[in-house]
Amino acid sequence: MNLINKKVTHKRFGTGSIVEHNDSIIEIHFASESKKFVYPDVFGEHLKIHDQSVAHSLEEIIQKREMARQEEEWKKEEEKKLQRKKHELRLEHEKLMKNHKLHPESQMVFWCDNEEQNSSLTEWKVFSGEIKSGNNKGKPNKPIRLHQNSAVLLTSIDSGMPEKERRILGVYMVNEEFIGKLCEDGYIPAHSKYKLQLTEQESDQLLFWQYYVNEKAPEKMTWNTGKYRYFDNMWMAQILRDIASFKSDQEQELAQQFFEHFCRMNQIIPQELQKPNGALMRNLA
C-alpha cells in the first residue's frame, strides 16, 4: 500500500503528511518537524488517516496483525503448558525411578496372533489391549508392573496345536524411559539395544511351558483369556540364559550382554540361577 503524501492527524503533533514508510516504520512530516513511528501500530488510537478507503485497508491490516499476534501468544502459552506438563512428568518419572521396588513378577509374556507376529518383531512394540468393562471401558490397559527391569517375551501357537507347543518368537527389554504406571496409550516399546528375534529352528527349541508354571495348577498348561501374563523374573532370566547358549557370532554376544544386563537390573546372580522347571518339565518328569 502506497501511503506517501497521505494526510494524517496525530493527537499530539497535529496534521501532517506521510513522507516515507516500509513494513515496520512510517515517517510523517508535521508543521515543524518530522517524526518516525512504528507501522502500522501507530494507526488507530494515536494517528488517523484522512483518506477513508485507505483507512479501511489499514484497519484490515491492523486486525490481521492483531490476530496473528494473538495466535502467536496462544502458541507460546500452549508451548509453556506443554513444557510444564513435560516437567511434571519428568519429576514424576524421576520419583518413580528413585522409589521403585523390584516386583518378583515384573516380566510380561505376550500372545502374538498371526498379524502381530510380524509387527511385534519389526516395530518392536506390543499393545497391551483395552479395558473390557467398567468406567474405563475402551481405554488402554496400563502395564503397571513393567519398569526398566522388565522384559517382554513374544510367543505364539500354531492353529490347532495344543497349548504346550507355545513357542517363543523373541524377547526385548522395555525402552530405557518406559514406566508402566505412566503408559497412557498401552504400547510397550523396546529397548534401543536389547532385543532378540529367534529363528524358526531356535523357536522349536524354546517352548514357553518349559519355564512357565501356574503355581495354583502346576501341571496344567492353559492360557485361557487375555493377550498377556506377568511372570517371574527368574523364569525370564532362565529364558535369556538359554537363548544366549545357542545363539552364535554377533547375536551370541548381544544375547549374553542382554542376559547379564537383565540380571543386573533384577538383582539376580547368574551363577545361582536354577534349571527350568515349568509345567512342561514337570509333566515329563
The tens digit of pLDDT for each residue in 225-273 reads: 889 999 999 999 999 999 999 998 789 999 999 999 999 889 899 998 9
- Spatial CA neighbour of 242 closest among 281, 198, 284: 198
Residue 196 has a pLDDT of 97
Average pLDDT value for residue range 211-219: 88
- The confidence band for 61, taking pLDDT boundaries of 50, 70 and 90, is confident
Cα angle for residues 117, 121, 122 (degrees, 5° grid): 115
Average pLDDT value for residue range 195-218: 92
The tens digit of pLDDT for each residue in 153-170 reads: 999 998 889 999 999 999
Cα 122 to Cα 125: distance, rounded to the nearest angstrom: 8
Residue ranges with strand state E in the chain: 7-10, 14-21, 25-30, 34-38, 47-49, 107-111, 125-127, 151-156, 167-174, 187-197, 228-231
Cα 34 to Cα 23: distance, rounded to the nearest angstrom: 18
DSSP 276: P
The tens digit of pLDDT for each residue in 97-148 reads: 566 688 999 999 999 998 899 899 999 999 999 988 889 999 999 999 999 8
